[in-house]
Structure 1
Amino acid sequence: MDTLKIEMDKAALILKLLGDKTRLTMVKILENHDCCVCEFVEIFKMSQPAISQHVRKLRDAGLVGEERKGQWVFYSLKKESDYYPMVQDILQHLPNQDYKLKELEEQGLRISCC
């Protein structure tokens, strides 16, 4: 079976991006849920510009895709990415982060921008 191999420098870039705990947690959340920046602002207690920078880096690397719904943009893990198999291997070793979204729902803040 011939599996897709990615270049060493591209793999290093992806691993560097995922070396940041905030971005790694974002990717783990996006594994199962689409989110908008406002939700990440609440989850991470960070400013909107800081969250947008993290999302932009993930998007620019091709790990995250975006979909506009009205005036809001929702982000999701780009499962068709060449890097997805490597990312998926990493994510399977991490604890589930769904509780963070459940806490938002309980606070009435899930998809608060919509």
Structure 2
Amino acid sequence: MLESTIELEKTASILKLLGDKTRLTMVKMLDSNDCCVCEFVAIFNTSQPAISQHLRKLKDANIVKESRRGQWIIYSLNKDSDYYPVIQSLLQHLPNQDYRIKELEEQGLRITCE
């Protein structure tokens, strides 16, 4: 009984975290593309510290993971997370966000992290 209560609380905290439109959009984008902070800054037209804060919260919740490519830190969806099935179920009901990546590529901003 106690374990199911803990699971409910953890799931509620994950859903609360994803209740933020920016974070939810980031997670949906990361479902099909890896991205770095600078790409999210360009997509959301917001500051680097604000984007880093969103990513830190997602990373702390084990929703995203990071890997280093040269001097860049690349973020991806953590498919090994215990909550990945819940997140995947949620994401399948959301509109595709790949157009945002396509817009970045057209503006020449997608390659800034290579």
- The TM tier, using the shorter chain, reads over 0.9
State the partner residue of 2:58: 58
Range with greater deviation from structure 2 (93-102 or 103-112): 103-112
State the partner residue of 2:87: 87
Which structure's residues are more often helix, by fraction? 2
CA RMSD, aligned part only? 1.1
The answer on whether the counterparts of 1:67 and 1:75 sit within 8 Å (CA) in structure 2 is yes
State the partner residue of 1:100: 100
State the partner residue of 1:44: 44
Helix, strand or coil at the partner of 1:7: helix
Unaligned runs of 5+ in 1: none
CA distance in 2, matches of 1:66, 1:58: 11
The Cα of 1:111 is off from its aligned counterpart by 3.3
The Cα of 1:24 is off from its aligned counterpart by 0.1
Residue type of the alignment partner of 2:74: F
The answer on whether the counterparts of 1:35 and 1:76 sit within 8 Å (CA) in structure 2 is yes
State the partner residue of 1:34: 34
The Cα of 1:112 is off from its aligned counterpart by 1.1
CA distance in 1, matches of 2:111, 2:73: 11
Unaligned runs of 5+ in 2: none
CA distance in 2, matches of 1:14, 1:78: 13
Helix, strand or coil at the partner of 1:95: coil
